[in-house]
Amino acid sequence: MMWTEDNLPLYDNAQAWTGTSMARRTDWIHEMSAGEIAEIDAAVAPNDASGVDILDISIEDFPLPSLSEKLRAFRREVLHGRGFQLIRGLPVERYTRRQAAIAYWGIGLHIGEAVSQNGKGHVLGHVANLGLNYTDPEVRGYQTNARLPYHCDASDIVALLCLRTARSGGLSSVASSTTCWNEIVRRRPDCALTLLQPLYYTRWGEVPSGKLNYDSVPVFAPCEGRLITTYIRSAVLKAQALPGVPKLTSAQIEAMDVLDSLTTDPELHLDMAFLPGDIQLVSNYSVFHSRTSYEDWPEIERRRHLMRLWLACSDGPVVPHFLNERHGQTATGRPDGIRVPGVRLVAPLEVA
């Protein structure tokens, strides 16, 4: 469709919410019951004792008789509803690292298929400060303690499990990308039109077969009656150093500035403090997520540590063709994360 300032769509659906409205609600938080935790414990024990590689654990190996139904409902809410969910109470304090990973992997199996998060083939990721410099063109923000601007990742759902919190800071924040779009249309339709056009992104040196070391996608894409969003401003800026990437125009820079100002509006975003054992599920298509900077503990064994899954869901929303061209597809036709030729999938237990 040919969009003009006069025919830009506005969306009044479950994906359009404000942070202040969500702060008054608690339906996005699920406290696991003793019975649900017992189901997880019962599934973890035999898999841990067998010594099986986490990658080889299937959904049949991890039965959750009652919790599985709730996890399916959470998946539907994340994919087709408000776009996020917090599951609270996984007993990570009494689990070994392997047991926590098995529990998290098993829960993830009931939500979707884990896909690779980086060029190393990690399907189980670790979000921790490696002391790297975020200004380096090939360093990604999760490897630092820097503030992460609002962005989306390359899968249907991104899931985070909190093992340990920082000494201070490190709040997680979410904002409805649909609400941000609506506000841009109302306030600056010229910027909305700009954000419907492709921006160029670095691939961080993680290049799939047959692809360039950059790609181009729009921030906002109307699709099948809803909005699909893709945005990582740091990747756009770092792509500027790559040969063949057009220079950003003043209109593109202004449009991103307008978008970023909306995501940081306290009326629009929702902050949440992670507790050990919290699992956060976020739709990459309808929710921008971010993290404040943090100060870590001096002791290595106390430092902030999250495990991460990127999940592909067969019942996810229809996505524009360019997202499948960007990432490739899983067997069920969903975006397949970051796949680099010759790199096998692994689920490391340690930060790497």
pLDDT digits (tens, 9 = 90+) for 103-134: 999 999 999 999 999 999 999 999 987 655 55
In whole numbers, what is the pLDDT of the chain averaged over residues? 93
At 52, give phi and psi (nearest 5°).
-60, 145
pLDDT digits (tens, 9 = 90+) for 149-197: 899 999 999 999 999 998 887 889 999 999 999 999 999 999 999 999 9
Can you read off the two tokens belonging to residue 217?
């996608």
Structural domains of the chain ordered from first start: 19-327 (3.60.130.10)
pLDDT digits (tens, 9 = 90+) for 14-57: 999 999 999 999 999 999 999 999 999 999 999 999 999 999 99
Looking at residue 106, what is its pLDDT?
98
pLDDT-derived band at 292 (thresholds 50, 70, 90) equals confident
pLDDT-derived band at 139 (thresholds 50, 70, 90) equals low
pTM (2 d.p.) = 0.94
Percent of the chain with pLDDT over 90: 82
